[in-house]
Amino acid sequence: MAEAIGRVFGEASTEGFSFILYPQKVRSLRNLFVVVESKDSEGKTYKVVGKVVDILTDNPLLSPENLKFFVSDEYGKEVADYLRSDRFKTYIARCEVIGEFDEEAGEIRTLTRPVETGAPVFFIDKDLLENLYFIPEPFNLFPGFTEQVRDARFSLDGDQLVTMHVGIFGMTGMGKTTTTGVLLEEFTVRGVKSIIFDPHGDYVNLGILKKDLFSALKEDLKRVGSPLRRLVKDYQLFLKERWSNYLNSIPQPYSDIVREEMKLELHPSSICFRLAMISSVLKREVVLPFKERRDETLREFREKLLKFSEKFDFKKLAKAVPPQILDRLIKLKIEGYPSIILNRFFNKYFVMNMIEAYSGEEISEAQEGIYTKWLDSMEEEIESLGGERRDLELVENLLSKVDSLRDSNKSKYPVKRQLEKARMVLSSQDRFLSVDSYELVKAFSGKSGFLSFVSNIIFDLSSLSPETVQRALLYSVFYSAFHLHKSGELSVQLGDWPILFVIEEARVLIPRSGAEDIDHPASRFARNIVRRVATEGRKMGLGLAIVSQKPASVDPLPVSQCNTLILHRVINPEDLSFVRTVGESISQEDIETLKTVERGVSIVTGTALKTRKSLLVRFRDRLSEEGREHPKPLRRLWNGA
């Protein structure tokens, strides 16, 4: 154990204690872990782990009773200045007890006896901190390091994150997009299948190695006889063979999209991404080291990957990794809008909801009666012909029936207006893919679906407008997934795949009541279906990752169901109050810390942690290229000049 930083002072209980710091050890201690060595009645040493929640300072010589004697003249002021020096100050750290460390079992247990007054206090070391927060199992995520001990790893329970929901919040520029990207990389290599709603194109390059990381490997990939070069080529050949079998079963329009993604992912940079992530899982280490300098990071990344390729040829790799993961297509990027579709799955009520979502107008009871009559006749036609009606064809068909209504019918012109608005919005989406979400979800989540070998479907919403269409797409996809699993047509218990839904910019896609566009039907439908998934979807295998810079602007019910929270800097009082309300294990001390944490640092709390106490962490950097580049008009102007 290192040098002591202080000694236990005053009263101590099984829940908390305080210690006096040695003046030379004073620094920012809030949220740091300490260890107290105490002795039991038999003289045996035991270790108690605590977490600093506050720092108090005092100078007993400068009490109000004493200070008044030193302010009356110049001599008294000199004495007061002397007494204010650090030599007379005391620093007391107040701690909450995490538990007693059982060295034989290697785990923390509940403390049943308080620490002894006067016992020495030490900073926690790497081994003990990892024992608290790191489980080296391949189904856990290894996304970064603790902030207190920069080379101490922490892990997150992958099953807890996927099935018990996770919230990722923080101000713009504080690192939440990087955190989400890292989690998606970690999820992908462990077999999680995600559907990602990406309003800004932040994740469209998932699986493509960053340029500087790939540049560090280029010479080794060119060198004849290099184990890394051989491993990359063998992996490429394996994927080409496997993917050629899948392509035969993929219908249009997805076949063309899949082919384009396959070309990207057969590039050596994408293969090296796969190898780096697989190496991280098999070696139980964080894929990128924590280094202050980028050149050191690049060198260590290269060395690790080279050592891995020397140890693993492709045959060994294929034995070490589940086959369902080894040949998966990392992502399928889709720019699409939700179909207004009438078939055996999408009934007349779904069609009416979509007309409301596209038109922005609610359908009254009287109008519903008109739509029901028309759609019933269409359903009969579809049943007899075995087909379907969708999008503009469907809307145009309904519009053609409006003239059959009498002018005295008060619903005639509102219905016509609704359909014309829906037609106008649909007409503006002609450059995007019409997404049959029932077909897509079944192909993706079904064990024998034609997209079952895809890891992530990324809906690139950056060009899809207006935002209400984005919400309508989210509603359509969630609706299909929920009812396919609710009805038993898809079943995780029978081998179909669970889905993690990632909602980026959740304040836009599922805004809380009172937010802008809140009365728009698309907003209401999106909110309601996400609520159902949040409260009922866990046992079906439907999970949520909710990401937002303004947590207080997100619908609170889904957020309240997030059993794990990852929080970057938050300073807005409304957001802090909201986080405190929905995060059961968030303390007031954590709230204060959130106001000042630097970029890239976050507080993690919840069931995904091995020890259910919040932890200050630093997520690693993304391996994948960033999404779309942010505009830099002034830099370009001046560089051009």
- The DSSP secondary structure of 9-76, one letter per residue, reads ES---SSEEEEEEPGGG-S--TT-EEEEEEE-TTS-EEEEEEEEEEEEEE-GGG-HHHHGGGSSSHHH
| 315 has a pLDDT exceeding 70 | yes
- Give the range among 156-160, 236-240, 517-521 with minimum mean pLDDT: 517-521
Residues in contact with 67: Cβ distance below 8 Å, sequence separation at least 6, in sequence order: 80
Report how far residue 579's alpha carbon sits from residue 583's, in angstroms, rounded to the nearest whole number.
6
Report how far residue 391's alpha carbon sits from residue 402's, in angstroms, rounded to the nearest whole number.
17
What's the mean pLDDT in 376-390?
A: 82
Q: Which amino acid is at 180?
A: T
| β partners of residue 503 | 197, 546
Start-to-end CA distance of the chain, whole Å, equals 60
| 301 has a pLDDT exceeding 70 | yes
Q: Provide the pLDDT confidence category of residue 587 given band limits of 50, 70 and 90.
A: confident
Percent of the chain with pLDDT over 70: 93
Q: Provide the pLDDT confidence category of residue 83 given band limits of 50, 70 and 90.
A: low
Residue 213, pLDDT score = 97
Give the model confidence (pLDDT) of 101-150 as tens digits: 988 777 889 998 899 999 999 999 999 999 999 999 999 999 999 999 99
Tell me whether strands 564-567 and 166-169 are parallel, antiparallel or unpaired.
parallel
Q: Which amino acid is at 527?
A: R
| 72 has a pLDDT exceeding 90 | no
Residue 192, pLDDT score = 97
Q: Which residue has the tokens 């872990």?
A: 33
CA torsion sign, 475 to 481 to 484 to 487?
Answer: negative
Residue 380, pLDDT score = 86
Residue 518, pLDDT score = 59
Report how far residue 147's alpha carbon sits from residue 29's, in angstroms, rounded to the nearest whole number.
12
What's the mean pLDDT in 399-416?
A: 94
3-state secondary structure of 164: helix
Q: How many residues does the chain have?
A: 641
State the DSSP code for 113: S
What's the mean pLDDT in 63-84?
A: 61
Report how far residue 414's alpha carbon sits from residue 340's, in angstroms, rounded to the nearest whole number.
19
What are the domain boundaries of the chain? 6-124, 211-330
| 67 has a pLDDT exceeding 70 | no
Report how far residue 408's alpha carbon sits from residue 366's, in angstroms, rounded to the nearest whole number.
13
What is the chain's mean pLDDT, rounded? 91
What's the mean pLDDT in 599-620?
A: 94
Question: Nearest Cα to 228, choosing from 261, 265, 271?
Answer: 271
What's the mean pLDDT in 152-170?
A: 96
State the maximum Cα–Cα separation within the chain, in Å, rounded to a whole number: 105
| 70 has a pLDDT exceeding 70 | no
Residue 74, pLDDT score = 60
